[in-house]
Copies of this chain bind each other. A is one copy, B any other.
Protein backbone atom coordinates (compact mmCIF):
# COMPACT_ATOMS: atom_id res chain seq x y z
CA UNK A 1 0.00 0.00 0.00
CA UNK A 2 2.82 2.38 0.92
CA UNK A 3 5.91 3.61 -0.88
CA UNK A 4 9.39 4.45 0.40
CA UNK A 5 10.51 8.06 0.11
CA UNK A 6 13.28 6.84 -2.19
CA UNK A 7 10.88 5.16 -4.59
CA UNK A 8 8.48 8.09 -4.38
CA UNK A 9 11.20 10.63 -5.19
CA UNK A 10 12.24 8.63 -8.24
CA UNK A 11 8.64 8.21 -9.39
CA UNK A 12 7.77 11.91 -9.20
CA UNK A 13 11.13 13.20 -10.43
CA UNK A 14 12.34 14.83 -7.18
CA UNK A 15 15.72 14.84 -5.45
CA UNK A 16 15.53 13.39 -1.96
CA UNK A 17 17.44 14.60 1.07
CA UNK A 18 16.55 12.36 4.01
CA UNK A 19 16.02 8.70 4.83
CA UNK A 20 15.10 6.90 1.56
CA UNK A 21 13.67 3.95 3.50
CA UNK A 22 10.88 5.81 5.29
CA UNK A 23 7.49 4.49 4.14
CA UNK A 24 4.59 6.85 3.36
CA UNK A 25 1.01 5.76 2.75
CA UNK A 26 -0.73 8.94 1.73
CA UNK A 27 -0.44 12.61 0.85
CA UNK A 28 -1.57 15.19 3.40
CA UNK A 29 -1.44 18.94 4.04
CA UNK A 30 1.45 20.37 6.08
CA UNK A 31 -0.88 20.67 9.06
CA UNK A 32 -2.70 17.39 8.61
CA UNK A 33 0.28 15.14 7.90
CA UNK A 34 1.66 12.57 10.31
CA UNK A 35 4.72 10.35 10.01
CA UNK A 36 3.03 8.11 7.45
CA UNK A 37 2.31 10.98 5.09
CA UNK A 38 4.22 13.01 2.54
CA UNK A 39 3.24 16.66 2.22
CA UNK A 40 4.05 19.51 -0.18
CA UNK A 41 4.61 23.25 -0.26
CA UNK A 42 3.53 24.94 -3.50
CA UNK A 43 1.72 28.10 -2.38
CA UNK A 44 3.82 30.78 -0.65
CA UNK A 45 0.85 31.53 1.61
CA UNK A 46 1.38 28.29 3.50
CA UNK A 47 5.14 28.56 4.07
CA UNK A 48 4.57 29.51 7.71
CA UNK A 49 3.23 25.99 8.31
CA UNK A 50 6.41 24.29 7.12
CA UNK A 51 8.38 24.56 10.35
CA UNK A 52 5.85 22.65 12.43
CA UNK A 53 4.90 19.87 10.01
CA UNK A 54 5.10 16.28 11.21
CA UNK A 55 5.13 14.77 7.72
CA UNK A 56 7.72 12.12 6.85
CA UNK A 57 8.81 14.33 3.96
CA UNK A 58 7.81 17.42 2.07
CA UNK A 59 7.83 18.02 -1.69
CA UNK A 60 9.06 21.58 -2.21
CA UNK A 61 11.35 23.84 -4.22
CA UNK A 62 15.07 24.21 -3.55
CA UNK A 63 14.65 27.59 -1.94
CA UNK A 64 12.21 26.29 0.66
CA UNK A 65 14.30 23.23 1.51
CA UNK A 66 16.51 24.78 4.21
CA UNK A 67 13.46 25.73 6.31
CA UNK A 68 12.08 22.20 6.33
CA UNK A 69 12.49 20.18 9.56
CA UNK A 70 11.95 16.80 7.87
CA UNK A 71 13.03 14.97 4.69
CA UNK A 72 12.74 17.03 1.51
CA UNK A 73 11.81 15.97 -2.03
CA UNK A 74 13.10 18.89 -4.06
CA UNK A 75 11.79 19.68 -7.52
CA UNK A 76 11.22 22.76 -9.63
CA UNK A 77 7.43 22.33 -9.72
CA UNK A 78 6.39 20.95 -6.32
CA UNK A 79 2.70 21.19 -7.24
CA UNK A 80 3.32 18.75 -10.09
CA UNK A 81 5.16 16.52 -7.63
CA UNK A 82 2.14 16.59 -5.35
CA UNK A 83 -0.15 15.70 -8.28
CA UNK A 84 2.01 12.70 -9.10
CA UNK A 85 2.39 11.58 -5.48
CA UNK A 86 -1.36 11.82 -4.87
CA UNK A 87 -2.02 9.73 -7.97
CA UNK A 88 0.46 7.08 -6.78
CA UNK A 89 -0.70 6.95 -3.17
CA UNK A 90 -4.44 7.66 -3.55
CA UNK A 91 -7.09 5.01 -4.18
CA UNK A 92 -6.76 3.46 -7.61
CA UNK A 93 -9.74 3.56 -9.95
CA UNK A 94 -10.99 0.11 -10.83
CA UNK A 95 -13.08 0.46 -13.97
CA UNK A 96 -16.19 -1.69 -13.91
CA UNK A 97 -17.53 -3.58 -16.90
CA UNK A 98 -20.80 -5.01 -18.11
CA UNK A 99 -24.31 -3.70 -18.52
CA UNK A 100 -26.29 -3.46 -15.29
CA UNK A 101 -29.62 -5.27 -15.21
CA UNK A 102 -31.30 -1.96 -14.49
CA UNK A 103 -29.66 -0.13 -17.38
CA UNK A 104 -31.57 0.50 -20.61
CA UNK A 105 -29.49 -0.16 -23.71
CA UNK A 106 -30.95 -0.06 -27.20
CA UNK A 107 -30.34 -3.21 -29.24
CA UNK A 108 -29.00 -0.86 -31.91
CA UNK A 109 -26.35 0.64 -29.61
CA UNK A 110 -22.78 -0.68 -29.54
CA UNK A 111 -21.33 -1.10 -26.05
CA UNK A 112 -17.79 -2.47 -25.84
CA UNK A 113 -17.50 -5.62 -23.74
CA UNK A 114 -15.03 -3.91 -21.40
CA UNK A 115 -17.27 -0.87 -20.89
CA UNK A 116 -19.70 -0.38 -18.01
CA UNK A 117 -23.27 0.85 -18.21
CA UNK A 118 -24.58 1.44 -14.69
CA UNK A 119 -28.04 1.21 -13.14
CA UNK A 120 -30.70 3.49 -14.59
CA UNK A 121 -28.37 4.61 -17.37
CA UNK A 122 -29.73 4.86 -20.93
CA UNK A 123 -27.82 4.22 -24.15
CA UNK A 124 -29.98 4.94 -27.19
CA UNK A 125 -30.01 3.63 -30.71
CA UNK A 126 -26.86 4.10 -32.76
CA UNK A 127 -24.79 5.22 -29.78
CA UNK A 128 -21.29 3.81 -29.21
CA UNK A 129 -19.60 3.23 -25.87
CA UNK A 130 -15.89 2.49 -26.25
CA UNK A 131 -13.48 0.16 -24.43
CA UNK A 132 -13.40 0.67 -20.66
CA UNK A 133 -15.73 3.62 -20.90
CA UNK A 134 -17.93 4.12 -17.81
CA UNK A 135 -21.51 5.25 -18.19
CA UNK A 136 -22.49 5.90 -14.58
CA UNK A 137 -25.89 5.67 -12.89
CA UNK A 138 -28.60 7.86 -14.34
CA UNK A 139 -26.56 8.95 -17.36
CA UNK A 140 -28.28 9.35 -20.73
CA UNK A 141 -26.36 8.75 -23.96
CA UNK A 142 -28.71 9.79 -26.77
CA UNK A 143 -29.00 8.51 -30.33
CA UNK A 144 -25.79 8.24 -32.24
CA UNK A 145 -23.56 9.70 -29.52
CA UNK A 146 -20.01 8.39 -29.19
CA UNK A 147 -18.25 7.82 -25.86
CA UNK A 148 -14.52 7.28 -26.37
CA UNK A 149 -12.23 4.70 -24.80
CA UNK A 150 -11.71 5.13 -21.08
CA UNK A 151 -14.08 8.07 -20.89
CA UNK A 152 -16.14 8.29 -17.70
CA UNK A 153 -19.57 9.85 -17.25
CA UNK A 154 -19.81 9.89 -13.46
CA UNK A 155 -23.57 10.05 -12.83
CA UNK A 156 -26.70 11.83 -14.07
CA UNK A 157 -24.80 13.19 -17.09
CA UNK A 158 -26.75 13.89 -20.30
CA UNK A 159 -25.03 13.42 -23.66
CA UNK A 160 -27.23 14.62 -26.53
CA UNK A 161 -27.75 13.01 -29.90
CA UNK A 162 -24.64 12.65 -32.09
CA UNK A 163 -22.31 14.30 -29.53
CA UNK A 164 -18.81 12.81 -29.74
CA UNK A 165 -16.42 12.49 -26.81
CA UNK A 166 -12.78 11.47 -27.23
CA UNK A 167 -10.72 9.19 -25.04
CA UNK A 168 -10.16 9.55 -21.29
CA UNK A 169 -12.68 12.35 -20.93
CA UNK A 170 -14.08 12.81 -17.40
CA UNK A 171 -17.57 14.30 -17.15
CA UNK A 172 -18.92 15.14 -13.71
CA UNK A 173 -22.53 14.76 -12.57
CA UNK A 174 -25.24 16.94 -14.00
CA UNK A 175 -23.23 18.11 -17.02
CA UNK A 176 -25.24 18.45 -20.23
CA UNK A 177 -23.53 18.21 -23.61
CA UNK A 178 -25.53 18.83 -26.72
CA UNK A 179 -28.62 20.73 -25.62
CA UNK A 180 -29.92 23.05 -28.34
CA UNK A 181 -28.02 26.28 -28.83
CA UNK A 182 -30.00 29.44 -28.08
CA UNK A 183 -31.02 30.70 -31.48
CA UNK A 184 -34.24 32.39 -32.54
CA UNK A 185 -35.27 34.75 -35.32
CA UNK A 186 -37.75 37.50 -34.67
CA UNK A 187 -41.02 37.49 -36.57
CA UNK A 188 -43.63 40.04 -35.66
CA UNK A 189 -42.78 40.21 -32.00
CA UNK A 190 -42.50 36.46 -31.48
CA UNK A 191 -39.52 34.15 -31.73
CA UNK A 192 -39.04 31.47 -34.39
CA UNK A 193 -36.68 28.70 -33.36
CA UNK A 194 -33.52 28.13 -35.38
CA UNK A 195 -33.12 24.34 -35.52
CA UNK A 196 -29.78 23.44 -33.97
CA UNK A 197 -28.39 20.92 -36.44
CA UNK A 198 -24.73 20.82 -35.43
CA UNK A 199 -23.26 18.77 -32.61
CA UNK A 200 -20.59 18.93 -29.90
CA UNK A 201 -17.15 17.43 -30.45
CA UNK A 202 -14.89 16.95 -27.45
CA UNK A 203 -11.24 15.88 -27.78
CA UNK A 204 -9.16 13.56 -25.61
CA UNK A 205 -8.21 14.09 -21.95
CA UNK A 206 -10.84 16.76 -21.37
CA UNK A 207 -12.46 17.26 -17.95
CA UNK A 208 -15.95 18.75 -17.70
CA UNK A 209 -17.29 19.91 -14.34
CA UNK A 210 -20.56 19.28 -12.55
CA UNK A 211 -23.61 20.98 -14.09
CA UNK A 212 -21.55 22.49 -16.89
CA UNK A 213 -23.45 22.85 -20.18
CA UNK A 214 -22.08 22.78 -23.72
CA UNK A 215 -24.62 23.49 -26.45
CA UNK A 216 -24.69 21.89 -29.88
CA UNK A 217 -23.87 24.09 -32.86
CA UNK A 218 -26.49 25.64 -35.11
CA UNK A 219 -24.97 24.28 -38.34
CA UNK A 220 -21.34 23.49 -37.58
CA UNK A 221 -20.20 21.81 -34.37
CA UNK A 222 -19.21 23.27 -31.03
CA UNK A 223 -15.63 22.15 -30.45
CA UNK A 224 -13.63 21.50 -27.27
CA UNK A 225 -10.07 20.48 -28.10
CA UNK A 226 -7.74 18.03 -26.36
CA UNK A 227 -6.71 18.62 -22.78
CA UNK A 228 -9.22 21.37 -22.02
CA UNK A 229 -10.28 21.55 -18.35
CA UNK A 230 -13.68 23.01 -17.54
CA UNK A 231 -14.79 23.56 -13.95
CA UNK A 232 -18.39 23.39 -12.66
CA UNK A 233 -21.38 25.38 -13.92
CA UNK A 234 -19.70 26.72 -17.03
CA UNK A 235 -21.94 27.56 -19.96
CA UNK A 236 -20.50 27.15 -23.47
CA UNK A 237 -22.77 28.53 -26.20
CA UNK A 238 -23.32 27.04 -29.62
CA UNK A 239 -20.48 27.04 -32.13
CA UNK A 240 -17.85 28.03 -29.58
CA UNK A 241 -14.36 26.68 -30.11
CA UNK A 242 -12.09 26.14 -27.12
CA UNK A 243 -8.45 25.54 -27.93
CA UNK A 244 -6.32 22.73 -26.55
CA UNK A 245 -5.12 22.83 -22.92
CA UNK A 246 -7.15 25.88 -21.99
CA UNK A 247 -8.46 25.83 -18.40
CA UNK A 248 -11.62 27.65 -17.32
CA UNK A 249 -12.81 28.09 -13.74
CA UNK A 250 -16.38 27.74 -12.49
CA UNK A 251 -19.44 29.81 -13.36
CA UNK A 252 -17.91 31.29 -16.50
CA UNK A 253 -20.33 31.92 -19.38
CA UNK A 254 -19.21 31.89 -23.01
CA UNK A 255 -21.65 33.22 -25.58
CA UNK A 256 -22.17 31.63 -28.96
CA UNK A 257 -19.48 31.52 -31.66
CA UNK A 258 -16.73 32.75 -29.34
CA UNK A 259 -13.34 31.34 -30.31
CA UNK A 260 -10.93 30.83 -27.42
CA UNK A 261 -7.32 30.01 -28.12
CA UNK A 262 -5.01 27.33 -26.78
CA UNK A 263 -3.31 27.44 -23.38
CA UNK A 264 -5.58 30.17 -22.05
CA UNK A 265 -6.45 30.47 -18.37
CA UNK A 266 -9.84 31.96 -17.64
CA UNK A 267 -10.90 32.69 -14.06
CA UNK A 268 -14.22 32.00 -12.38
CA UNK A 269 -17.39 33.86 -13.21
CA UNK A 270 -15.99 35.44 -16.37
CA UNK A 271 -18.33 36.47 -19.19
CA UNK A 272 -17.17 36.10 -22.78
CA UNK A 273 -19.13 37.81 -25.52
CA UNK A 274 -20.25 35.97 -28.62
CA UNK A 275 -18.53 36.13 -32.03
CA UNK A 276 -15.17 37.27 -30.61
CA UNK A 277 -11.68 35.77 -30.61
CA UNK A 278 -9.39 35.30 -27.65
CA UNK A 279 -5.81 34.60 -28.70
CA UNK A 280 -3.64 31.75 -27.44
CA UNK A 281 -2.15 32.27 -24.00
CA UNK A 282 -4.55 34.90 -22.69
CA UNK A 283 -5.03 34.97 -18.91
CA UNK A 284 -8.28 36.49 -17.70
CA UNK A 285 -8.90 37.28 -14.03
CA UNK A 286 -12.02 36.07 -12.25
CA UNK A 287 -15.29 37.96 -12.81
CA UNK A 288 -14.02 39.86 -15.84
CA UNK A 289 -16.18 40.58 -18.87
CA UNK A 290 -14.66 40.16 -22.31
CA UNK A 291 -16.72 42.24 -24.75
CA UNK A 292 -14.14 42.44 -27.52
CA UNK A 293 -11.51 40.21 -29.08
CA UNK A 294 -8.17 39.83 -27.31
CA UNK A 295 -5.29 39.82 -29.75
CA UNK A 296 -2.26 39.86 -27.45
CA UNK A 297 -1.40 37.25 -24.81
CA UNK A 298 -1.13 38.65 -21.30
CA UNK A 299 -3.29 39.10 -18.22
CA UNK A 300 -6.56 41.01 -18.29
CA UNK A 301 -9.20 42.00 -15.73
CA UNK A 302 -12.37 44.00 -15.28
CA UNK A 303 -13.87 42.93 -11.95
CA UNK A 304 -14.79 45.67 -9.47
CA UNK A 305 -13.12 45.38 -6.06
CA UNK A 306 -15.33 45.37 -2.97
CA UNK A 307 -16.06 48.50 -0.91
CA UNK A 308 -17.94 49.12 2.31
CA UNK A 309 -21.58 49.67 1.30
CA UNK A 310 -21.62 53.43 2.03
CA UNK A 311 -18.33 54.11 0.28
CA UNK A 312 -19.66 52.07 -2.63
CA UNK A 313 -22.84 54.16 -2.83
CA UNK A 314 -20.90 57.46 -2.72
CA UNK A 315 -18.26 56.30 -5.17
CA UNK A 316 -20.79 55.10 -7.73
CA UNK A 317 -22.69 58.36 -7.36
CA UNK A 318 -19.42 60.06 -8.39
CA UNK A 319 -18.91 57.47 -11.10
CA UNK A 320 -22.20 58.41 -12.73
CA UNK A 321 -20.94 62.01 -12.82
CA UNK A 322 -17.59 61.12 -14.39
CA UNK A 323 -18.41 62.70 -17.75
CA UNK A 324 -19.31 65.94 -15.97
CA UNK A 325 -16.16 65.80 -13.82
CA UNK A 326 -13.95 65.32 -16.88
CA UNK A 327 -15.54 68.33 -18.56
CA UNK A 328 -15.02 70.47 -15.51
CA UNK A 329 -11.33 69.53 -15.36
CA UNK A 330 -11.00 70.40 -19.04
CA UNK A 331 -12.56 73.81 -18.40
CA UNK A 332 -10.20 74.45 -15.48
CA UNK A 333 -7.28 73.63 -17.74
CA UNK A 334 -8.55 75.90 -20.48
CA UNK A 335 -8.89 78.71 -17.96
CA UNK A 336 -5.26 78.36 -16.92
CA UNK A 337 -3.41 77.90 -20.22
CA UNK A 338 -0.25 79.75 -19.24
CA UNK A 339 0.18 77.75 -16.09
CA UNK A 340 -0.42 74.44 -17.84
CA UNK A 341 2.25 75.31 -20.39
CA UNK A 342 4.60 76.37 -17.61
CA UNK A 343 3.93 73.19 -15.68
CA UNK A 344 4.67 71.13 -18.77
CA UNK A 345 7.96 72.97 -19.13
CA UNK A 346 8.82 72.21 -15.53
CA UNK A 347 8.33 68.55 -16.05
CA UNK A 348 10.74 68.54 -18.96
CA UNK A 349 13.59 70.07 -16.98
List residues of chain A with CB under 8 Å of any chain B CB. 26-29, 32, 43, 45, 77, 79-80, 82-84, 86-87, 90-91, 100, 102, 104, 118-120, 122, 124, 136-138, 140, 142, 154-156, 158, 160, 170, 172-174, 176, 179-180, 182-187, 189-195, 197, 205, 207, 209-211, 213, 215, 218-220, 227, 229, 231-233, 235, 237, 245, 247, 249-251, 253, 255, 263, 268-269, 271, 273, 275, 283-292, 294, 298-309, 311-316, 318-323, 325-326, 328-329, 331-336, 339-340, 342-343
Report A32 CB to chain B, min CB distance, Å. 6
Tell me the nearest residue of chain B to A142, going by C-beta. Answer: B155
- CB of A187 within 8 A of CB of B77, answer yes
Q: Are A77 and B186 in contact (CB under 8 A)?
A: yes
CA gap between A180 and B29 in the complex, in Å:
18
Q: From known contacts A120-B122, A211-B176, A329-B329, infer whether A83 and B335 are also in contact, taking CB-CB under 8 Å.
A: no
Task: Tell me which of B140, B194, B332 contacts A333 (CB under 8 A).
Answer: B332
* A176/B179 contact (C-beta < 8 A), A104-B137, A320-B307 known: no
Contact (A326, B336) CB under 8 Å given A172-B180, A288-B306: no
Q: How far is the CA of A118 from the CA of B302 in the complex (A)?
A: 46
Asked if B291 contacts A192 (CB within 8 A), the reply is: no
Q: Which residue of B lies closest to A32 (CB)?
A: B220
A307 touches B300 (CB 8 A): yes
**Chain B CB within 10 Å — which of A32, A83, A263 has the most?**
A83
B275 and A45 contact, CB distance less than 8 A = yes
A124 CB → nearest B CB, Å: 8
Question: Contact between B302 and A289 (Cβ–Cβ < 8 Å)?
Answer: no
Other-chain contact of A82, B156, B185, B306, B318 (Cβ < 8 Å): B185
Q: What are the residues of chain B within 8 A of A190 when measuring CB–CB?
A: 205, 227, 245
CA distance A336 to B158 in the complex (A): 69
Contacts of A332 in B (CB 8 A): 329, 332-333, 336, 340
- Which of these, B87, B154, B319, contacts A195 with CB under 8 Å? B87
| A to B CB contacts below 8 Å, 29 in the list | A90-B197, A138-B156, A138-B158, A154-B179, A176-B211, A182-B209, A191-B227, A211-B233, A213-B232, A231-B235, A233-B235, A250-B253, A255-B268, A268-B271, A271-B287, A289-B304, A289-B306, A291-B303, A294-B306, A298-B309, A300-B309, A301-B307, A311-B323, A328-B333, A332-B332, A332-B336, A335-B342, A335-B343, A336-B336
Extra inter-chain contacts (13) besides given A86-B197, A271-B303, CB under 8 Å: A27-B197, A80-B186, A118-B122, A184-B229, A191-B229, A235-B251, A250-B253, A286-B289, A286-B291, A289-B304, A289-B305, A325-B326, A328-B333
